[in-house]
Structure 1
Amino acid sequence: MCFIKPDDDVADLLRKTKLIIWDEAPMNHKHAFEALDRTMKDIFKCEITFGRKVMVFGDDFRQILPVVPNGSRREIVNASITSSYIWSSCKVLMLTKNMRLTVGANASDIEEIKAFANWLLELGEGKIGGSDDCEVVIDIPEDLLIKCSEDPMSDLIDFVYPSLLQLYKDKDYFAERAILAPTNEVVQEINERLLASFPGDEVEYLSSDSICQTDQAKNQAHARLYSPDVLNGLKISGLPNHRLVLKVGVPVMLLRIIDQQNGLCNGTRLRITKLYRRIIEAEIISGGNIGTRTFIPRISLTPSDKRIPIKFQ
């Protein structure tokens, strides 16, 4: 992250600002906070942290810490805001009531929801299964277990998506359901199984890769070393797979911010309504634009993974 000297308009806006909220703070590198701190001190000519402006760092420290490529545990912890000189000026405030789980729930379900939330919280804090830093045995509640089965994944899909063929046209059906998976390989397997359950013909979309114009001579030399089959088989962070198969009616989720004003943001859920050769028509089923029809075109993406010796888009 690079900070530049703000112009007069930005500086004037900062002077009028009473409160600054920084979301997902634990996931950001401490250098980002320290750079902003130095910038604010320069603007307001004040040596107090953030130039005396009130800062609110939001989010959960149980989530992933700042990503340090090939970094050790010590380097990752050292990159966290808790290792910054700013942390000594912070006051920790903790939420005590889970509003998201209880608002809108039936009175008979609130206690059960609270019990599950408390169990999940203790699991995340390492209070279940002992204090050993190595492998521990954790007892999963009976109601969360898939009993002995020949095909547990199929049982999981049937549990989360019951009566799929009868209800797949209902947009609320998919808006209320999701399956979380630990790895992209498991995600791919679940997607393939679910896709096979939908009626209709499959439509295949393949990526169209080209060498970036920057540093072209170097990239062309690398391109001669790797066949298209090898490049198309790469699973790169921040880049979709080479082959995408869809059907009309299937739910999808955006991984990029396309049009924030119209609700097309990272994490927005949609249901496919039509599949064209170069564009996809879908209906938004989550957020504040539910029911809106939109078009998703092809998008040029360049991976930022430095482990890949060749740049392509």
Structure 2
Amino acid sequence: MDTSIGYEISFGGKVIVFGGAFRQILPVVPNGGRQEIVNASLCSSYLWSKCKLLRLKKNMRLTIGRSTSDIEDINNFAKWLLDLGEGNNYNNHNYFSKRAILAPKNEVVHEINDRLLALFPGEEREYLSSDSLCQTENPNSTQLKLYSPDVLNGLKVSGLPNHRLVLKVGVPIMLLRNIDQQNGLCNDTRLQIKRLYNRVIEAEIISGGNIGTRTYIPRLNLIPSDKKIPFAFQRRQFPIAVCFAMTINKSQGQLLSRVGLYLRQPVFTHGQLSVALSRVKSRDGVKLLILDKDGKPTDKTSNVVYKEVFNKL
């Protein structure tokens, strides 16, 4: 048998289906600029010339459960989203006029969550993590002093729960790790806390295909993937974060009935504004608060679109 057959065929001749929207957020390249992000996209790959492009022309997100009397508004909103995603000019500020608050950056999201958690009724419960250097570091006495538990406790890393986690019954939370994908416990799944125990948290899924399912979330040993950290450490903590608010990137793929978009600073990468505004089915489902450089409300904001990513479509 000739084992060389298929070696020069992409994926060995298998049919592979890629899905996605170039109007939305492109691949994340740490510390990458515009050109690096565009180059990391599928349409810049050597495989792109061998792909067959199929276009989905009907916005199913907007039409599901809508009456025929809303067709005109739906079509207008869909066209506006397309124009926004492609960076076309628009002057209609009326559009800037299941619930979540979205913001471009983590620091703003954390401020909103802390404020709303303090206002939320109920008794707080505090969970502290156990942090230590990984054994792969072979830490000596000097490293143990330099990276003491107090130093590790103070580290705040994207995708990792904080050392101090404050929760209340009824608060919405988001998973930061895949726990049980078959049962809907995936990264970015939203849940609502039902009970708080010493070693587990009982919660109900409120997003995805397993809405209404009760589950228990344990503490896990979590190791950050951020390459900026010059040493490996692990944090034993519940893999969750409070999510009254979330970043626009985290909201990608979710369908919400109400969205509040808080733009204290403008969006900073391709597709963010398009993703935020397309989380809802109609323009009535989104409210925006936009601040200018002086911190005053305004009805204008910047949009970021790398139009060169559409050149090969």
TM-score, with length taken from structure 1: 0.67
8 Å CA contact 1:257–1:264 kept in 2: the answer is yes
Indicate if the aligned counterparts of 1:81 and 1:87 stay in contact, CA closer than 8 A: yes
Q: Which residue of 2 aligns with 1:24?
A: none
User: After superposition, where does 1:201-220 map in structure 2 within 5 Å?
Assistant: 201-217=123-139
State yes or no: 1:180 paired with 2:141.
no
Closer/same/farther in 2, CA of residues 46 and 307 from structure 1, 3 Å limit: closer
Aligned match of 1:109: 70
**Counterparts in 2 of 1:1-313, with a 5 A limit?**
44-128=5-89, 139=91, 141-145=93-97, 176-217=98-139, 221-226=142-147, 228-313=149-234
Question: What residue ranges of structure 2 are gaps of 5+ in the alignment?
Answer: 235-313
For 1:237 and 1:196, the matched residues in 2 are separated by 22
**Partners of 1:223 and 1:310 within 8 A in 2:** no
- Higher mean alpha-carbon deviation, 81-90 vs 68-77, is at 68-77
SS of equivalent to 1:280: strand
Percent of pairs with identical residues? 69
C-alpha distance in structure 1 between counterparts of 2:163 and 2:72, whole Å: 46
Show CA shifts across 1:39-89 (max 9, x none): xx9775352333322222111123333333333433333333323221111
User: Per-residue displacement from partner, 1:101-136 (whole Å, max 9, x unpaired)?
Assistant: 11102333343233223222211211126xxxxxxx
Query: How many residues are aligned here?
Result: 233
Partner SS, residue 180 of structure 1: strand
2: CA distance between counterparts of 1:108 and 1:233?
55
1:67 and 1:223 map into 2 onto residues whose CA distance is 34
Q: What is the one-letter code of the residue matched to 1:95?
A: L
Q: Deviations over 1:138-187 (max 9, x none)?
A: x5623532xxxxxxxxxxxxxxxxxxxxxxxxxxxxxx112221111111
Amino acid at match of 1:285: I
Corresponding residue number in structure 1 for 2:240: none
Q: Which has the higher contact order (CA 8 A, sep 6+)?
A: 2
Alpha carbons 2:171, 2:192 under 8 Å: kept: yes
Structure-2 separation of matches of 1:200 and 1:211: 35
Q: Which has the higher strand share?
A: 2
Q: 1:203 to 1:53 in 2, by over 3 A?
A: same
* Higher helix proportion: 1
Question: Which digits, 9 at most, give the CA deviation of each residue in 1:12-58, with x for residues without a partner?
Answer: xxxxxxxxxxxxxxxxxxxxxxxxxxxxx977535233332222211
Runs of 4+ in 1 over 4 A off after TM superposition: 41-44, 220-223, 226-230
Residue of structure 2 equivalent to 1:157 = none
Root-mean-square deviation (Å): 2.5
In 2, are the aligned partners of 1:222 and 1:310 still within 8 Å (CA)?
A: no
Larger mean Cα displacement after TM superposition, 272-281 or 111-120 = 111-120
Unaligned runs of 5+ in 1: 1-40, 130-138, 146-175
